[in-house]
Amino acid sequence: MSELKRTPLYDLHLELGAKLVPFAGFEMPVQYPLGVKKEHEHTRAACGLFDVSHMGQVLLRGPSPAEALETLVPADVVGLAEGMQRYALFTSEEGGILDDLMVVNAGDHLYLVVNAACKDQDIAHLRRGLTDHQVEAVDRGLLALQGPRAAAVMQRLCPEACDLVFMQHGRFEIDGIPVWVSRSGYTGEDGFEISVAADGAEALARRLLAEEEVEAIGLGARDSLRLEAGLCLYGHDIDTTTTPVEAGLIWAIGKPRRRGGERAGGFPGAGLVLHQVEVRDHRRKRVGLLGEGRAPVREGAELYDGEGHHLGVVTSGGFGPSVGRPVAMGYVAVEAADPGTTVYAEVRGKRLPMTVSKMPFVAPGYYRG
């Protein structure tokens, strides 16, 4: 544990009684004394505060940064209005997914948030591909305030931020602390992701936790919340072996970047990816899965049809506290991907029935104005 990195909130996590575990090279809180299930339920009912400072925060500067970034991602970055945020994918020459990220048009530069486990390789990838641009990793904390009461909390602390709608970004102050705020998150709930200078992160976290609705929430509940919301976790549900189309992420391929669009292709793996978008001849698809009973079906469980033919594998799974039953996602052969199809997950020698389901498993609470 001594070799692991620590976020600016490490001392606060200890003070709050967190159980710390290694995650993406950091010591991170997996849960607090409240426990994973109650933390999950509190976020769905009120408001949770997550430390996501392990994520990579990157500034991209230089000539036409949006056009430059489009040489590495299939998203429509050029069409992203100032102050707006968009989901994007770094693709490989083989059409696989190197990482997923958020991109903000910050005016004269782009602000990127990349996954913790991928940030070093992402920064190297950006620097190799965009040699005329400045790629700066910034040392900042990142806090996520999530839940149906998040806006009520923010209304007291930073009312201007409540004017933001889903996937909009702005720069404000909370108690004199400068912050970059986006109305987004990883739970399926309304909420805000708040970037703050590292030396101001603890003071900001304490100020947020002082609000009666807010509880500190760990990685355990973060995972069950994002799974119920049908959101991918890089390295599990998407990776270099999955294409955006197989992963059900066609919506992340901007219309101007598709065949016939004004800036079609031009990103790594475009030939394969755009072929799959147009022809849909991929052989597997990411789907949601609902279990029966209480026994969770975990990542790695193999999936079969009723005749014993292998169909695919679970990539994320657990018990969904808000759904009240086991939930999972995974890849199955396209012929078994229709909602309502029964498949069987092998768990400790038994094959448990699961039903292919649309995602998300819970109704999203995003604020769209």
Q: pLDDT tens digits, residue range 302-331? A: 999 999 999 999 999 999 999 999 999 999
Q: Could you tell me the pLDDT band of residue 260, with boundaries at 50, 70 and 90?
A: very high
pLDDT of residue 1: 46
What percentage of the chain exceeds 70 in pLDDT?
99
Q: pLDDT tens digits, residue range 70-92? A: 999 999 999 999 999 999 999 99
The pair phi, psi for residue 124, each rounded to 5°, is -65, -40
Domains defined along the chain, listed by start: 10-53+139-228 (3.30.1360.120), 283-359 (2.40.30.110)
**Residues 215-238, mean pLDDT to the nearest whole number:** 98
pLDDT of residue 168: 98
Q: Report the alpha-carbon distance of residue 173 to residue 178 in Å, rounded.
A: 4
Looking at every residue in the chain, the average pLDDT score rounds to 97
Structure tokens at 6: 């620590």
Residue 183 confidence (pLDDT) above 80: yes
Q: pLDDT tens digits, residue range 15-49? A: 999 999 999 999 999 999 999 999 999 999 999 99
- What pTM, to 2 d.p., does this model score? 0.97
